[in-house]
Chain A
Amino acid sequence: MIRDSIRGRAWKFGSNVSTDSIAPGRLISLRSNPKEYAKHVLEDTRPEFAGSVQKDDFIVADRNFGCGSSREIAPLIIKEAGVGAVLSKTFGRIFYRNAINNGMLLIECDTDRIEEGDELLVDVSDRVIRKANDPDFSMKFQLSEKEVKIISEGGLLNYIEKYNSLDI
């Protein structure tokens, strides 16, 4: 279930975007309803994001995206909002696990090289990012073997069902 390529627009975010910013605790009543909750994704950081994000757009953060709590609703509503992948220099580790456990692609790369509004072409097969608006641009990235294995099955629980093992 890893797609070969994804094309979308870059939405830039700063450092330390926490799970509290992604999925505010005050909206706890929406937790059982990711579709509704997704209408508020990241609203404290960029209020216009949830209403304008298009399918396959990218969240492009500085460092430590998804730091903070273990709430799995955070990556779930990013996925629900249609985001193609999240790019950041580093990720909060629980967010990282929660995201790949739900089949959501995260890419660690030098996000300083990407600008707000860039039209990105993420070639997942060749592990390279290009820009539709800048033909000279290309940036390689790596994916961990675990991330690829889990996302390829569509998440951790699918993986366990298929291989009957946690050895990833």
Chain B
Amino acid sequence: MGQTLVEKILSEKMGRLVHAGETIVVDVDFAALHDGSGPLLVRLMKERGYQEDPVFDPDRILFANEFGPVPTREVANEHALTRNYACSHRCHWEEGGTGHVHAHVYEEYLKCGSVCIVGDSHTTVHGAFGCFATGCGSTDMVAVTRYGKTWIKVPETFRINVTGKLPRGVYAKDIMLRLAGMIKSDQAIYKSLEFRGDTIESLSMAGRLTITSMGVDVGAKTAIMETDEHTKEFLAGFNREEDYREIKGDENAQYERMIGIDATALEPLVSCPHYVENVDLARNCGNQKVNMVFIGSCTNGRTEDLHVAAEILKGKKVAKGLRLLVIPNSVSVYKECMRDGTLLTLAEAGAIIEAPNCGPCMGVHQGIPGDNEVVVATQNRNFKGRMGNPTASIYLSSPATAAATALRGVITDPREVM
């Protein structure tokens, strides 16, 4: 009997065969927190008198701030709290405005096939590197930070086979939105999603990260993929060839469900308010007027995403009365898009370009919608109130659909403008 990718990674860590359903206490290879989970961790450490205790390995813990430059005095003080803790314990530290925590993790630290725990729900993103990666809250992170361990129930796996060539105007985001429409936001709770098939193999890391980032948004514990030349090339781009290793799945593992997606039949999609599972064709929503478009977030803010948007917007202007926010994922994306002229193209089209960060995705800063406004965003969540205003409506889409929408001022199938 073969193993699922998750069973494979966790068996290797435990030094014995582990199976779906059993509970293990596993060593964590890399841990990180952001300014959502970090300040509470520091307060818990203080409350319990742990704050002077050593962390399990400062070289394997990152504190990265995502709200920044800071929007309020309170957030500035929270940053100070974690900054002092991180620096006094010699952990890695990143200021707000240098990228979201996950970009720091996979661009700088993550090794293929490792166990990665972050105090953020979108930690599933790191599964694109063949990692067992999942998010948790601050209390679990106290245990991880002190002992370098966490308890995990080995998840059952849904195998998602995506096959065929993506049609023009259809991207990785559309694959994930299609899946959300199929399995809704809760059928995969506690499960691992193992993404396989020639469509996944054809995707660059940018596309793969888009898919794995949203594993949690269909409820999953983790989302995981095999590694290959694309993974190797990505790591080589950061001079980290040594962090690559091949992670390959088995054919005869025990899967709880098999789900097939025919990529050739996909069309550009949107998730309508207020749940990711409310999926519809972009072309069915063409009368919907839009006030703001946001291209960015840990789901879509990579170089390739900004390239797609720039290609659609080149030499044109965003619709009058609509504001377009573009937020690169990380400083490296920011610099690359600066060097190759992408940011210039976007700025000339009228985009507002902000410091690398999470942006307005979670409603803290960098572009909160007004009352009753409609937003098209490339982020991962459209819950009521998500972007900071409970009267706003959020549609989720690919960067291409978002850019096309920015041009026309109404939700637009990108094939109409490509």
A interface with B by C-beta (< 8 Å) = 15-16, 18, 20-21, 24-26, 28-29, 31-32, 44-45, 63-64, 67-73, 90-94, 97-98, 101-102, 146, 155-157, 160-161, 166-168
The answer to whether B72 and A29 have CB atoms under 8 Å apart is yes
A selection of 18 A-B contacts at a CB cut-off of 8 Å is A16-B275, A28-B67, A28-B364, A29-B72, A68-B383, A70-B119, A70-B135, A71-B137, A72-B37, A72-B139, A93-B221, A94-B216, A98-B137, A101-B140, A155-B139, A157-B48, A160-B143, A166-B143
The answer to whether B381 and A94 have CB atoms under 8 Å apart is no
The answer to whether A157 and B219 have CB atoms under 8 Å apart is no
Nearest Cβ in chain A — how far from B119, in angstroms?
A: 6
Chain B residues with CB under 8 Å of A68's CB are 121, 381, 383
A26-B388, A31-B78 are known contacts. Are A92 and B189 too (CB-CB below 8 A)? Answer: yes
What CA separation (Å) do A69 and B40 show in the bound complex? 15
Interface flags for B339-371 (1: CB within 8 Å of A; 0: not) read 000000000000000000000001110001000
**Residues B63-120 near A (CB distance < 8 A):** 67, 72, 74-75, 78, 119-120
What CA separation (Å) do A15 and B184 show in the bound complex? 11
Chain B residues with CB under 8 Å of A97's CB are 136-137, 140
The answer to whether A72 and B138 have CB atoms under 8 Å apart is yes
Decide if B25 is an interface residue (CB 8 Å cutoff). Answer: yes
Instruction: Out of A15, A64, A92, A156, name the residue touching B139 (CB < 8 Å).
Output: A156
The answer to whether B139 and A157 have CB atoms under 8 Å apart is yes
Interface flags for B127-151 (1: CB within 8 Å of A; 0: not) read 0000000011111101100010111
A24-B363, A44-B390, A92-B189 are known contacts. Are A18 and B137 too (CB-CB below 8 A)? Answer: no
> Using a Cβ–Cβ cut-off of 8 Å, how many residues does chain B contribute to the interface with A?
50
The answer to whether B78 and A70 have CB atoms under 8 Å apart is no
Decide if B240 is an interface residue (CB 8 Å cutoff). Answer: no
Nearest Cβ in chain A — how far from B142, in angstroms?
A: 6
Instruction: Out of A24, A69, A90, A91, name the residue touching B121 (CB < 8 Å).
Output: A69
The answer to whether A63 and B186 have CB atoms under 8 Å apart is yes
The answer to whether A29 and B363 have CB atoms under 8 Å apart is no
A20-B386, A166-B149 are known contacts. Are A70 and B121 too (CB-CB below 8 A)? Answer: yes
Decide if B389 is an interface residue (CB 8 Å cutoff). Answer: yes
Interface-centre pick from B40, B137, B190 (highest chain A CB count, 10 A)? B137
**Residues B146-167 near A (CB distance < 8 A):** 147, 149-151
Decide if B384 is an interface residue (CB 8 Å cutoff). Answer: yes
Nearest Cβ in chain A — how far from B220, in angstroms?
A: 8
Nearest Cβ in chain B — how far from A43, in angstroms?
A: 8
Chain A residues with CB under 8 Å of B389's CB are 26
A26-B368, A70-B119, A166-B151 are known contacts. Are A94 and B186 too (CB-CB below 8 A)? Answer: no
